[in-house]
């Protein structure tokens, strides 16, 4: 930022410096993304191995050891690294099992929402015309609807169950996929592009396979990662409102809700799962950002 | 004499110290006495209706029993005393004669007459009035008002409990002339009663404001204004108490008791609930149609640990379907036992084949509902029962209550409205009652006979027999008779009521003044 | 002008259809969720009472008829009578509207006042401490669950530090925590976008020219970059405001704030259809109108968009 240097020279230097910086940034982005993905894998690992790793049975109550602060030796003679809750259950074990709910619901919702959303987006892009308008208007309507109320309403109708919650959360996310895919397809449908491919001797199917799919994949991965973060938050919010997975299965949101009454005394009941939840969603979202920077910067400005 | 500067300063210091004396010594949060003339009460929900016949919820009762009076009144100590009626006696087997108090005025100045009493009582079961208390006074056949201060109530069969029935909800007396002239909707907006407070305003989801009735026949209450605030969330309700913003906070969960007690300005005061917290059973659903299974379920519950840990000791273990404090409560009956081994044996004897048994519970609608359900599920699992807990909202519960479509067991907190088994066990479990899932010929016969007998000895025997049958068949599994706690400022002198009435008349409420 | 009007008309048409879809969905979902009458009558009320009440509420007619009546009333702005409270659904909602407005406006104001300068500073002092700090907070704000942020605030600031009340509505002190909690997401989004928009613009040639000419850095930033970054910033600001109402539902629940978000949840549980329909449609209408306005502004400013 040295303004005494003549403009032309500074422009060259800036370009050189910029490309070097870009190189460093790209490397850093790759490292960070790898770190983020690694964290997600760790979460998955914790969820999968919870039955073996968790120190206690998450549903085992011990009414005599209620509301015990994090300790290595509680009234029942065992260690509770994150304390116990209002029924004497070990918070750490429940937190580990809670990750199973969050991740299972999250991945399922991303899968379902992704499939449905992508299909609709591709359909809208390819067919165009009123199909496109119809799908986009439905998307508009959904975005206008205060989503949490829709979720509560649907769960009130269908009753809280794993399937219902996945359906609801998928509903929350499909629009993202649809939009991205639609714009990708529209871009590829543009006459110049099709003409060019035809000129080079390709067919529609080859267009789809060799050009659409690779582009789509990276977009989908980015959107899916961001949606995973949002899905985890939404599941936790629904559990917090009492509409999530039913007791005694632990879920992070449900645990925060159960501990709410004890914020001033047994604060660890809400805080431990809540902090883990926050860390998980932050890392997942950030990884989505990094992936986007890495794979497809044109997705910015979302 | 001139006042030196030093004297002036000394005087100022003394004045300052005096201003800091009782009432403001350590700040409002730790005052032992007060000069307040306004009583602020925080309860766990907003009112839904000011018309006393249109709701039986505790959040409405706290107000309706103070705007209105009944003929008879149930005191916090359980005694039934004269209120708008100064005396009552049986005329023959099937009629009660009530003598009305002289000189009682409605809040708008009109005098109270027997016509008002007849109108009020008839209204409760008048289909055109669509009240929510239409089944309470159905033992009445007709009402006569020979003169302005006498009411004779004829019952269809001998009804020894009529005065008690008139002492609780449905028995509030409403003004005939005023109600008929303005209509029920306007009456619900601006009610007029004879009670110790008169209605001023209702701000939805916020508060009800009531002014003291200086002309009240029982004496003006010890305040000029009563404000009832709706604070459904527990944290702000307790917080308001601890900060001194409210004088009484009702519905205090046991886990908050320590906090309130250790706070310098507040104490906990509770009354043993005039009722029971039970797991009601849908005895039509397998395997709950088998009495042995129900006995096993009951004996597998460690009520002592639930009371000690989840209720911090604020409750007692019930011994049967009759609440402590009621007529004919048998103090010699042992508390319901805990014996997991016997539970297993009973299950084996019953031929239990691991069928799923479901507890459907709300979350935080009834005190301790979800935590107790989860605790009991764990206890049942230990006894070998395939137990599940399902959480539902109270609107679903209301629907299932109507359809009688509960999957297994659900929480109920029956109130002993008459402080008599007739008003709880019989009212709810009797044939055609709201919890009619189980019938037993002998039990039904006894209940009917006891309702209409004036012989207390006979009634006592009947209820003993019914209790025995009850304990064998367990249409309810009683879990706890809890203390319902309130948080009070130390300068409040007030006795809580087992039937949640918020009694603020002179004899029960006073600010402790310096 | 003609292309703009055509464009605007088509967007407005879509908006109306979207609103119709929203109203249909809320109608269907609420009707399917169950019967409100058991909540209004005592459990031992005879069946004929239930039937009478249902007839009174118009619930005994076939669903398509109810739907037609609903749409007809909607067109006249009539949301019907609240089932739980006495009075029109609109009246019940408008009673609580001020509380939500207060919360929404204040949180939005706080979000904008904090976010835009933060984003500007982060862009100008890129990769310095302030950038990392601001973006770190923004990251947390965008990703973290609102309900837990609220709980955390209550724990740390109300309970532990005793600085502010834990919940409810009262004086300005009650407003602080809920407003910050609600505004955090918007704050984060706006800050991040402001920063990236600024970065884009800061790189442009004419900026370098201006700097090379020796103009004061601040003047450059304020006069030239802000004007160009304005469009995306205004866009996202508008979008966040439209979505604020939806976010208020959770915040109002955590802080026991007596607004329409909490009313909506209670009304869903009470099966008070008219009130739920009223809240949902008001919220959707607000969102749609704001989006339409943004589209219109874009359409006016950038002719290329109108042709799509």
pLDDT higher than threshold 90 for residue A244: no
* CB atoms inside a 10 Å sphere around CB C48: 9
Which range is most confident: A112-121, B128-137, C47-56, C231-240? A112-121
ipTM of the prediction greater than 0.95, yes or no: no
The answer to whether residues B477 and B294 touch, using CB atoms and an 8 Å cutoff, is yes
pLDDT of residue C210: 63
Which member of B132, B185, B402 has the closest CB to residue C38? B402
Give the closest-approach CA distance of C31 to chain A in angstroms. 9
Q: Chain A contacts of B380, Cβ < 8 Å?
A: none
Q: Chain C contacts of A153, Cβ < 8 Å?
A: 26, 29-30, 33, 268, 276
pLDDT bracket for residue A301 (50, 70, 90) = very low
Tens-digit pLDDT profile for residues A47-75: 888 888 888 888 888 888 888 888 777 66
pLDDT of residue A201: 66
Nearest C-alpha in B relative to A64: B309
Tens-digit pLDDT profile for residues B299-345: 999 999 999 999 999 999 999 999 999 989 999 999 999 999 999 99
How do the pLDDT tens digits run along chain C, 308 residues long?
777 888 888 888 888 898 899 999 988 888 888 788 877 776 667 777 788 888 887 788 888 888 888 888 888 888 888 887 777 889 889 988 898 989 988 998 999 899 988 988 888 888 888 888 888 899 888 888 889 999 888 888 887 777 887 777 778 888 999 999 999 988 898 888 888 877 777 777 666 666 666 656 656 656 666 666 677 777 777 777 767 777 788 899 888 888 888 888 888 888 888 899 899 888 888 888 888 888 887 777 666 655 54
pLDDT of residue C245: 75
DSSP classification of residue C85: S
More confident residue, C6 or B187: B187
pLDDT of residue B119: 95
The proportion of chain B whose per-residue pLDDT surpasses 70, expressed as a percent, equals: 94
Contact assignment for B398 to C269 by CB distance below 8 Å: no
Tens-digit pLDDT profile for residues B7-22: 443 444 444 444 433 3
Q: Chain A contacts of C146, Cβ < 8 Å?
A: 237
Interface of A with B (CB under 8 A): 59-61, 63-64, 66-67, 86-88, 156, 160, 242, 246-248, 260-265
Contact assignment for B402 to C270 by CB distance below 8 Å: no
Tens-digit pLDDT profile for residues B225-272: 999 998 887 877 888 898 888 999 999 988 889 889 998 999 999 999
Give the DSSP H/E element, type plus range, for residue B360.
strand B356-361
pLDDT higher than threshold 50 for residue B25: no
Tens-digit pLDDT profile for residues B485-502: 999 999 999 999 999 889
The answer to whether residues A299 and A291 touch, using CB atoms and an 8 Å cutoff, is no
Long-range contacts made by residues C114-117, C-beta under 8 angstroms, separation at least 24? Answer: C114/C187, C114/C191, C115/C186, C115/C187, C115/C188, C115/C189, C115/C190, C115/C191, C115/C194, C116/C190, C116/C191, C116/C194, C116/C233
More confident residue, C290 or B62: B62
pLDDT bracket for residue A128 (50, 70, 90) = confident
More confident residue, B219 or A62: B219
Which member of B234, B389, B393 has the closest CB to residue A247? B389
Give the closest-approach CA distance of A172 to chain C in angstroms. 13
pLDDT of residue A6: 41
CA atoms within 13 Å, Cβ hemisphere of B193: 31
For residues A214 and A227, give the distance between their C-alpha atoms in angstroms, rounded to a whole number: 20
pTM: 0.82
Which member of C142, C151, C264 has the closest CB to residue A149? C264
For residues B347 and B290, give the distance between their C-alpha atoms in angstroms, rounded to a whole number: 10
Q: Chain B contacts of A262, Cβ < 8 Å?
A: 255
Q: Is the peptide bond before A265 cis (omega within 30 degrees of 0)?
A: no
For residues C203 and C161, give the distance between their C-alpha atoms in angstroms, rounded to a whole number: 44
- Identify the residue among B259, B371, B392 best suited for mutation to test binding to A, counting A beta carbons within 10 A and taking the highest: B371
pLDDT of residue A22: 64
Q: Taking CA B341 as the corner, what is the angle to CA B338 and CA B344, rounded to the nearest 5 degrees? A: 110
CA atoms within 13 Å, Cβ hemisphere of B254: 20
pLDDT higher than threshold 60 for residue A3: no
Contact assignment for B398 to C165 by CB distance below 8 Å: no
Sign of the alpha-carbon dihedral angle for C148, C150, C151, C152: positive
pLDDT higher than threshold 90 for residue A37: no
The answer to whether residues B67 and B199 touch, using CB atoms and an 8 Å cutoff, is yes
pLDDT of residue A4: 40
pLDDT of residue A1: 35
pLDDT of residue C302: 66
pLDDT higher than threshold 80 for residue B26: no
Q: How far is CA B89 from CA A215, B113, C149, C305, in A?
A: 92, 19, 64, 89
Residues B257-267 as b/e (b if ≥16 CB within 10 A, e otherwise) read: bebbeebebbe
Q: Chain B contacts of C41, Cβ < 8 Å?
A: 132
Contact assignment for A265 to B253 by CB distance below 8 Å: no
* Window from A70-84, A162-176, B228-242, B350-364 with minimum mean pLDDT: A70-84
- Identify the residue among A56, A62, A63 best suited for mutation to test binding to B, counting B beta carbons within 10 A and taking the highest: A63
Give the closest-approach CA distance of C265 to chain A in angstroms. 7
pLDDT of residue B65: 94
- Identify the residue among A160, A248, A254, A269 best suited for mutation to test binding to B, counting B beta carbons within 10 A and taking the highest: A248
More confident residue, C158 or A103: A103
More confident residue, B106 or C164: B106
Sequence-distant (≥ 6) Cβ neighbours of residue B507 within 8 angstroms = B75, B218
């Amino acid at each position: 930022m040295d303004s005494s240097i003549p403009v032309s020279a500074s422009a060259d230097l800036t370009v050189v410096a910029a490309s070097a910086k870009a190189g460093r940034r790209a490397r850093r982005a790759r490292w960070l993304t790898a770190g983020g993905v690694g964290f997600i894998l760790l979460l998955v690992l914790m969820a999968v191995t919870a039955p073996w790793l968790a120190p206690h049975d998450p549903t085992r109550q011990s009414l005599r050891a209620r509301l015990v602060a994090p300790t290595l030796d509680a009234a029942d003679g065992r260690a509770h690294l994150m304390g116990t809750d209002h029924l004497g259950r070990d918070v750490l074990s429940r937190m580990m099992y809670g990750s199973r709910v969050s991740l299972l619901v999250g991945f399922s919702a991303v899968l379902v929402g992704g499939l449905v959303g992508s299909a609709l987006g591709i359909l809208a892009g390819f067919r165009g015309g009123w199909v496109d308008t119809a799908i986009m208007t439905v998307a508009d309507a959904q975005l206008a609807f205060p989503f949490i109320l829709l979720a509560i309403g649907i769960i009130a109708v269908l009753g809280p169950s794993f399937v219902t919650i996945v359906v609801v959360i998928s509903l929350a996310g499909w629009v993202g996929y649809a939009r991205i895919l639609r714009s990708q397809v529209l871009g590829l449908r543009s006459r110049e592009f099709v003409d060019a491919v035809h000129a080079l001797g390709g067919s529609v199917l080859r267009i789809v396979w060799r050009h659409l799919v690779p582009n789509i994949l990276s977009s989908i991965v980015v959107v899916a990662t961001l949606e995973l973060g949002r899905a985890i938050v939404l599941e936790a919010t629904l559990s917090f409102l009492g509409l999530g997975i039913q007791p005694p299965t632990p879920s992070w949101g449900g645990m925060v809700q159960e501990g709410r009454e004890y914020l001033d005394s047994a604060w660890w009941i809400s805080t431990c799962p809540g902090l883990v939840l926050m860390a998980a969603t932050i890392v997942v979202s950030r990884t989505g950002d990094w992936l986007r920077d890495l794979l497809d910067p044109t997705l910015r400005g979302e | 004499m001139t006042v030196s500067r030093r004297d002036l300063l000394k005087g100022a210091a003394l004045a300052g110290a005096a201003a800091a004396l009782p009432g403001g010594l350590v700040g409002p949060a730790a005052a032992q006495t007060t000069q307040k003339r306004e009583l602020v009460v925080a309860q766990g929900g907003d009112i839904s209706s000011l018309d006393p016949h249109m709701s039986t919820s505790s959040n409405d009762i706290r107000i309706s029993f103070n705007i209105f009076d009944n003929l008879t009144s149930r005191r916090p100590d359980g005694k039934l005393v004269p209120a708008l009626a100064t005396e009552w006696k049986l005329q023959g087997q099937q009629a009660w004669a009530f003598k009305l108090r002289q000189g009682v005025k409605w809040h708008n100045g009109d005098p109270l007459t027997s016509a008002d009493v007849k109108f009020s009582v008839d209204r409760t079961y008048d289909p055109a009035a669509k009240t929510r208390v239409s089944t309470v006074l159905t033992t009445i056949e007709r009402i006569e008002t020979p003169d302005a201060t006498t009411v004779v109530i004829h019952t269809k069969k001998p009804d020894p409990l009529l005065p008690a029935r008139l002492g609780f909800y449905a028995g509030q007396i409403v003004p005939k002339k005023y109600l008929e002239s303005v209509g029920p909707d306007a009456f619900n907006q601006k009610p007029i009663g004879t009670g110790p407070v008169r209605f001023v305003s209702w701000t939805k989801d916020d508060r009800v404001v009531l002014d003291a009735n200086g002309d009240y026949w029982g004496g003006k209450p010890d305040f000029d204004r009563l404000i009832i605030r709706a604070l459904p969330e527990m944290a702000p309700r307790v917080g308001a108490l601890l900060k001194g913003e409210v004088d009484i906070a009702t519905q205090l969960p046991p886990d908050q008791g320590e906090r309130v007690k250790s706070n310098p300005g507040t104490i906990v005061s509770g009354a043993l609930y005039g009722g029971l917290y039970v797991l009601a059973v849908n005895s039509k659903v397998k395997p709950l149609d088998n009495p042995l299974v129900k006995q096993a379920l009951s004996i597998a519950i460690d009520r002592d640990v639930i009371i000690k840990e989840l209720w911090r000791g604020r409750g007692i273990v019930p011994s049967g379907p009759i609440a402590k404090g009621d007529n004919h409560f048998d103090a010699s009956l042992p508390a319901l036992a805990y014996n997991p081994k016997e539970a297993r044996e009973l299950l084996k004897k019953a031929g239990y084949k691991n069928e799923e048994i479901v507890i459907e519970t709300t979350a935080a609608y009834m005190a301790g509902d979800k935590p107790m359900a989860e605790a009991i599920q764990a206890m049942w699992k230990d006894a070998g029962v395939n137990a599940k807990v399902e959480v539902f909202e109270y609107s679903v519960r209301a629907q299932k209550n109507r359809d009688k479509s509960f999957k297994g067991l659900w929480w109920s907190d029956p109130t002993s409205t008459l402080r008599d088994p007739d008003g709880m066990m019989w009212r709810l479990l009797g044939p055609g009652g709201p919890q009619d899932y189980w019938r037993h010929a002998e039990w039904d016969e006894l209940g009917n006979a006891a309702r209409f007998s004036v012989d207390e000895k006979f009634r006592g025997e009947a209820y003993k027999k019914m209790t025995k049958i009850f304990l064998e068949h367990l249409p309810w599994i009683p879990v706890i008779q809890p203390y319902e706690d309130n948080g009070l400022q130390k300068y409040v002198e007030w006795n809580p009521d087992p039937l949640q009435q918020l009694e603020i008349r002179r004899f029960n409420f006073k600010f402790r003044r310096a | 002008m003609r292309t703009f009007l055509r464009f605007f008309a088509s967007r407005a048409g879509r908006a109306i259809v979207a609103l119709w879809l929203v109203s249909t969905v809320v109608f269907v979902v609420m009707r399917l969720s169950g019967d409100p009458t058991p909540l209004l009558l005592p459990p031992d009320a005879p069946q004929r009472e239930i039937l009478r009440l249902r007839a009174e509420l118009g619930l005994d007619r076939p669903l398509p008829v109810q739907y037609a009546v609903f749409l007809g009333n909607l067109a006249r702005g009539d949301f019907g009578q609240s089932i739980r409270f006495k009075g029109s659904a609109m009246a019940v909602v408008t009673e609580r509207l001020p509380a939500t407005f207060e919360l929404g406006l204040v949180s939005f104001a706080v979000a904008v006042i904090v976010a835009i300068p933060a984003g500007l500073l982060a862009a100008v002092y890129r990769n310095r401490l302030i950038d990392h700090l601001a973006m770190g907070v923004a990251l947390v704000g965008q990703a973290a669950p609102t309900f837990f942020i609220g709980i955390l605030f209550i724990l740390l600031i109300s309970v532990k530090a005793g600085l502010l009340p834990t919940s409810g509505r009262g004086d300005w002190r009650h407003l602080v925590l809920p407003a910050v909690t609600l505004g955090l997401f918007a704050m984060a989004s706006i800050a991040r976008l402001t920063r990236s928009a600024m970065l884009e613009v800061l790189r442009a040639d004419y900026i370098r020219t201006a700097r090379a000419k020796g103009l004061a850095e601040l003047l450059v930033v304020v006069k030239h970059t802000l004007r160009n970054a304005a469009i995306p910033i205004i866009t996202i600001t508008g979008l966040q405001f439209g979505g604020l109402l939806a976010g208020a539902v959770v915040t109002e629940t955590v802080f026991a704030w007596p607004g329409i978000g909490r009313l909506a949840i209670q009304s869903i549980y009470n099966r008070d259809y008219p009130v739920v329909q009223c809240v949902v449609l008001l919220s959707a209408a607000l969102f749609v109108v704001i989006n339409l306005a943004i589209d219109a502004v874009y359409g006016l400013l950038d002719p290329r968009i109108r042709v799509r």
